[in-house]
Amino acid sequence: MHQHARDAYPDECCGLIVGPPVGESGSGGSEEKRLLPLRNVQNEYHERDPATYTRTARRAYLIDPFEFERILTEAKDSQEVLRGIFHSHPDEESYFSQEDKDAAVPFGDIPSFPHAEQIVMSVMGGEVKGAKVFLWSSDEKDFLEGELVVDGE
């Protein structure tokens, strides 16, 4: 994940984490999760339609919708679910911005993937300086910072 963030700098990187549903297969632990670094296509959309996609990849990320669907379909076929979504903030802190919330909660007040962790990395000058994880709280109707468990970077 860190390598992907470094490679993408000064643009934002993005990717997904898939794995068995929590508590349903084995331990559901990190060893069963798969990290999928993906291409940030924000610049292509911005170039084509700057009025809708106002920001460049320097300040935003977008996973190719068809790629996203393919991954979700394949995950479902292998009894996996989306466990996490990650992206980086180049030369910014690792906070969950309003734009990040808007993208995560496009319909009403429930996220598209309420059980997926949202991981944000801070990349300063090309080096990953920190990362935070945010989890959806159905009580607070908001993403709250959770405990980041690092395993074998």
- What are the residues binding another protein (CB under 8 A)? 48-49, 51-52, 54, 62-70, 73, 98, 101-109, 112
CB-nearer residue toward another protein: 22 or 144: 144
CB-nearer residue toward another protein: 51 or 150: 51
Q: How far is the CB of 139 from another protein (least distance, A)?
A: 18
CB-nearer residue toward another protein: 122 or 143: 143
CB-nearer residue toward another protein: 51 or 149: 51
Measure the CA angle with vertex 140, ends 21 and 108; round to 5°. Answer: 75
- The CA distance from 81 to 27, in Å, is 15
Contact, 81 vs 119, CB < 8 A? no
- The CA distance from 36 to 55, in Å, is 24
Residue 105's contacts (CB-CB under 8 Å, 6 or more residues apart) are: 111, 112
- The CA distance from 25 to 95, in Å, is 31
Q: How far is the CB of 11 from another protein (least distance, A)?
A: 17
Q: How far is the CB of 120 from another protein (least distance, A)?
A: 17
Q: How far is the CB of 150 from another protein (least distance, A)?
A: 28
Contact, 105 vs 136, CB < 8 A? no
